[in-house]
Amino acid sequence: MDLSFAPQDLEFRDDVRRFLARELPAGMRHKVLEGLHVSAEDVTEWQRILHKRGWGAPNWPTEFGGTGWDAVRQHIFDEETAAAGAPRQLPFGLKMVGPVIMRFGTEAQQKRFLPRIVSGEDWWCQGYSEPGSGSDLASLSVRAERSGDHYVVNGQKTWITLAQYADWIFCLVRTDPSAKPQSGISFLLIDMKTPGITVRPITLIDGSHEVNEVWFENVRVPVENLVGDENRGWTYAKFLLGHERTNIAGVGTSKRELLRLKAIAARETKDGKPLLADPFFAARLARVEIELMAHEITNLRVLAAEAERRAPGPEASILKIKGTEIQQELAELMMIAVGPYALPFRPSTLDAGFDGDPVGPAYAAPLAATYCNMRKTSIYGGSNEIQRNIIAQMILGL
């Protein structure tokens, strides 16, 4: 793979930079670059700004309202938006359920759901995990029983990210309890306003409300909201998880956070010298930067495969493992860099405009929350231990 940019790609990069300088709101930029809380309104507004420019779906083909960009342009866009401090686009619609509907959905489903994802009109969440079914997803127990032209759904999903804002949820449900676990699962699209759905918040260790329990009590879902064939949802779930794990790679975001870490280490001192001069810290910093460079090349290979309409293979698991490990290492090094100034602050304090005086610099205040939040990355999307098993099976045949 030729990693040098062609002249037309450099022109595209300049176009993206001009757009970001002109259209990215300063308030959003500040929040992202300083590690502060980005609101749901910020995320929705940014999606609408991108949609107006025609860039609402960077990874989609043009026939479904996407940009049709090749792997290089997708990479440039991701890197430039992250570096500029743009909020990340919601992955649940664009990177997860959208590709499933494009590949396996009916024409009616494609016309109904895809345009509203690109425009930012619909916010999606993912209904996979259950209290007893996380990494062993095939053991899920939420039931969907056929009743005329509806399915009646009962059960509980948990750790549902940002469900408090969602208009729709895509769910794996059990439609044939007598079949072997993977064979009795279906893929349903459920309107979150349907009677019988209850969303209950889960407060995280940093005090934030990011994930939720979602309860279904006799929720009636039209049969037309079934994606693909009944009892073949496991096939669609595997397809989706490949795209999700690619998204978790977060190359652009990690490159931005690496620059942020270097800036912090240049400010902080040890024995009167910048922390960057400490050989032990510098060695850890160099190692994570090298790993990020290798990670970026693997990500480009996967993007190239997606552009050819090939589902991600074992490379997606590699991206998931290394991407999350790099994210966690960057967060840990930032904590080490500021030392006791990284004491936890409640999000409400930071949102109110905390300026860092008198307990430390303002840039240190969000770091504890970021560190705690990053611990989850090696678990969601299929734990890293599961990813290593997938790699062993698909590559080594073990």
How far is it, in rounded angstroms, from Cα 203 to Cα 138?
27
Report the first-to-last Cα separation within the chain, whole angstroms.
29
Pull the structure tokens for residue 76.
């440039």
State the Cα–Cα distance between residues 128 and 387, nearest whole angstrom. 17
**What radius of gyration do the chain's Cα atoms show?**
22
What residues does 170 pair with on adjacent strands? Answer: 126, 189
Helices (H), 270-383: 279-307, 314-338, 347-351, 367-374
What are the start-end ranges of the H helices in the chain? Answer: 7-23, 26-33, 40-53, 71-84, 91, 98-104, 107-119, 233-248, 251-267, 279-307, 314-338, 347-351, 367-374, 384-391
Q: Which residue's structure tokens are 């994210």?
A: 327
Distance (Å, whole) CA 35 – CA 90: 17
138 within 8 A of 131, measured Cβ to Cβ: no
- Cβ atoms of residues 249 and 320 within 8 Å: yes
Q: How far is CA 397 from CA 22, 229, 321, 394, in A?
A: 51, 30, 19, 6
Buried b (16+ CB within 10 A) or exposed e, 124-139: bbbbbbbeebbeebee
Measured in whole angstroms, the distance separating CA 5 from the mean position of its chain's CA atoms is 27
Q: Which residues carry out catalysis?
A: 244
In angstroms, the CA 328 to CA 343 distance is: 18
Q: Please state the φ and ψ torsions of residue 344, each to the nearest 5 degrees.
A: -65, 140
- Cα–Cα dist 150/120, whole Å: 28
- The alpha carbon torsion through 131, 136, 138, 141 (nearest 10 deg) reads -10
**Strand 143-147 to strand 150-157: parallel, antiparallel, or no bridges (unpaired)?**
antiparallel
Structure tokens belonging to residue 207: 């005090």
